Structure 1
Amino acid sequence: MPEATNRTGTNTTTKSRNETGEKGTTLKGRSGTDAPPGMRGDTTVADAVVAKIAGMAAREIPEIHNLGGGMARAFGAVKERVPGSGTDITRGVSVEVGERQAAVDLDIVVEYGASIVDTAGDVRANVIQAVEGMAGLEVVEVNIAVHDVHLPDEEEESEQGGGRVA
């Protein structure tokens, strides 16, 4: 396990898997009474945590209709109808978490009429701010794939049983 010392003398070590086998990152603090209380001990951030943070941050942008590609959204819609299953915050979100950095990939559906370039920039900025602020990881990139544009009349058709057979 690599160990590095930064300018403040803090030893930082990162593990790729924690004791339960979950993938994530562990930031090691210092030990001993000379270390400030906030630096004593280890903090482990799982990949799933970073994915949830990124998913919530992306959904905060008003021009985002949904996350996920076509099949992921279809399975998600079926899953949401099952009582007690809730919504899948990480659908359409993929993360790679390293020692002190994270990379995020998002699959999004944008509302019709919104500028895709501006929306992607807003999503990117919000995800970076949320992940860096909450997880303490540097976000090196946020890759965004726009899979669809949501048209206003699409939802009305599906609610009214838009098929030809009743």
Structure 2
Amino acid sequence: MTEAKTTDKPRSEEASVPRARTDTSGNAKNLVTSKGTTSIDSGVVAKIAGLAAREVSGVYDMGAGTARALGAVRGIVGGEKSATQGVSVEVGERQAAVDLDLVIEYGVAIPDLAAGVRRNVIMAIERMTGLEVVEVNIRVDDVHMPGQGEGERGRIEGAEPEPRVQ
């Protein structure tokens, strides 16, 4: 550890203090300063990304098939759906990268949806953490069809399904 140096310089000349990047509004995000370091756990960034992605209209659910199945089981036994389902992140001292698995609503333009999700996730992470988001990779795993899944919930287990034709 290095010793702190004392100087008789005015505060205006102390501009050489290392600082994290500055966002577009000009507010310094002091993650690494001469006074200490603020570290943000990857779980926090993943939760922010998951919540921000779900805010975008056209996102039905998140996660690959297995993750969604486990989330459904968790819901049946009274657990809450995880905000980080379908999200993986890498977090460094000043940057973050995000991977998202999405299930989209049928009829939504995928390029437009991806751009909206990407924009919302980047804005939320950068605003809340001060980390620079270097990439948001989006993988569309499935398309939710209107009425899909709702009929299954109301069915009695073990009952014969209704025939498609008569």
What is the TM-score when the length of structure 2 is the normalising length?
A: 0.76
Q: Structure 1: where are the runs of 5+ without partners?
A: 2-6, 14-25, 32-40
Aligned residues: 138
Check whether the contact 2:102–2:140 (CA below 8 A) recurs between aligned residues: yes
After the TM superposition, which segments of 4 or more aligned residues of structure 1 sit over 3 Å from their partners? none
Map of 2:17 onto structure 1:
10
Map of 1:71 onto structure 2:
66
Of residues 46, 53, 72, the one that matches 1:51 is: 46
Q: Distance in 2 between matches of 1:28 and 1:117?
A: 36
Q: Deviations over 1:5-34 (max 9, x none)?
A: xx9423369xxxxxxxxxxxx933223xxx
Larger Rg: 2
Q: Distance in 1 between matches of 2:76 and 2:153?
A: 14
Of residues 77, 83, 86, the one that matches 1:82 is: 77
Q: Structure 2: where are the runs of 5+ without partners?
A: 2-13, 21-29, 160-166
Map of 1:132 onto structure 2:
126
* Structure with greater contact order relative to length (CA < 8 Å, sep ≥ 6): 2
Q: Distance in 2 between matches of 1:162 and 1:70?
A: 23
Cα RMSD, aligned residues only:
2.3
Q: Distance in 2 between matches of 1:154 and 1:162?
A: 17
Amino acid at match of 2:31: L
Find out whether 1:27 has 2:31 as its counterpart: yes
Which one has the bigger strand percentage?
1
Amino acid at match of 2:88: S
**TM-fit CA distance, 1:162:** 8.3
Map of 1:122 onto structure 2:
116
What is the TM-score when the length of structure 1 is the normalising length?
A: 0.76
